[in-house]
């Protein structure tokens, strides 16, 4: 797996920074966001460093599919029963703050404070 030694999410994948994980497998890690925008807010990140959606190739289709299939399963496990939102911010103008591809999955009663 490729990693960026300066990437906070790569450090979470490597176990160098703690995170409240809700899922881990060979492809991804999912954990609670430290600054949630909703009652339930998890991030799903690939274990391989991909800076953003602009770097995704056809070879990443299975990874992205895996992330999308995992999202509803995690929400159900975390008690979200009436819908959720999935967001991938891309680039600075798209609101991306950490430059490792990541999916926000947010659910719980509305209205949310942000988003």
Return the active site residues: 102
How many Å is the Cα radius of gyration of the chain? Answer: 14
- Other CB atoms within a 10 A radius of the CB of residue 98 amount to 15
Identify the helix (H) or strand (E) that includes residue 101.
Answer: none
51 exposure class (CB count in 10 Å sphere: 0-12, 13-18, 19+)? middle
Assess contact for 31 and 69: CB atoms under 8 A: no
H-state helical runs in 1-115: 8-13, 61-77
């Amino acid at each position: 797996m490729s990693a960026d030694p300066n990437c906070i999410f790569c450090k979470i994948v490597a176990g160098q920074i703690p995170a409240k994980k809700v899922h881990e497998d060979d492809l991804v890690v999912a954990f609670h966001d430290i600054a949630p925008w909703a009652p339930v807010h998890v991030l799903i990140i690939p274990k391989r460093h991909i800076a953003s959606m602009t770097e995704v190739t056809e070879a990443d289709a299975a990874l992205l599919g895996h992330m999308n299939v995992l999202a509803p399963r995690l929400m159900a496990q975390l008690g979200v029963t009436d819908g959720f939102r999935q967001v991938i911010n891309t680039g600075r103008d798209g609101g991306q703050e950490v430059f490792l591809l990541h999916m926000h999955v947010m659910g719980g009663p509305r209205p949310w404070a942000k988003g």
